[in-house]
Amino acid sequence: MRWLVFLGLAMLSGCALLPPAPMLVARPAQPESAPFAMNGRISINHQGERHSAGLHWTHQVRSDEILLLTPLGQTAARVYRDDSNATLDDGDKHYQDVDAESLMQQVLGWHLPLVGLHQWVLGLPAADTQAQIERDTNGRITVLRQDGWEVRYLRYADTRPDSLPTRMQLSHEDMQVQLLIDEWEWNPQ
């Protein structure tokens, strides 16, 4: 009987010794070509309507997959785009268009700016167009204005200049987006 108690305590203590997964705090050396996956939460306020969801985004160099999740973690909508088209699955309905932004606008009533967003979430301006940038004393972007969007970086994972954002606010005309990033993964499959 004594050995059963000891075995049970040993198993419980073994679980307690597992270290937590490290939080990624810095961008990779070549962020423009680095595939990533991120988990977080998103809140959208568009024309007085509010929407919120969990978010899982997998970005590859030539494609993006965004899963909008219910509070229990089930997929409420899936947006996929690659070089040739975009699809949106909303429950049992399937939609297709040339680009993801217009497809999201048609089906959801709002859109995320995927063209620049994959660089903005890394704390960088999109390379293709002009940007107005304000920085803090550590060199991190605090406000980015690009392509009609204003991106405010409210929190970073660390104080390093190459630190990853963990909280952002995006504004465009009558739409405000809050993005909270909980975890990152580089080079997802």
Tell me which residue has tokens 């996956």.
37
Strand, coil or helix: what is 98?
Answer: coil
Whose CA is closest to 114, among 84, 79, 76? 79
Stretch 40-49: mean pLDDT: 93
The lowest-confidence range among 21-25, 90-94, 159-163 is 21-25
Q: Does pLDDT of 158 surpass 60?
A: yes
Sequence letter at residue 18: L
Task: Note the maximum CA span of the chain.
Answer: 73
CA dihedral 112, 136, 41, 16 (to 10 degrees): 150
Task: Provide the terminal-to-terminal Cα distance of the chain, rounded to the nearest Å.
Answer: 47
Instruction: State phi, psi for 115 to the nearest 5 degrees.
Output: -60, -45
- CB distance 67 to 59 below 8 Å: no
Q: Does pLDDT of 151 surpass 80?
A: yes
pLDDT category at 11 given cuts 50, 70, 90 is very low
Q: Where are the domains of the chain?
A: 25-186
Strand, coil or helix: what is 10?
Answer: helix
The CATH class, in words, for 25-186 is mainly beta
Stretch 80-109: mean pLDDT: 91
- For 17-31, what is each residue's pLDDT tens digit? 554 555 567 777 666
Helix spans in the chain (H): 2-16, 100-108, 114-120
Distance (Å, rounded) from C-alpha 142 to C-alpha 110? 25
Stretch 78-102: mean pLDDT: 92
How many CB atoms lie under 10 A from the CB of residue 186? 12
Q: What percent of the chain has pLDDT over 70?
A: 84
pLDDT category at 7 given cuts 50, 70, 90 is very low
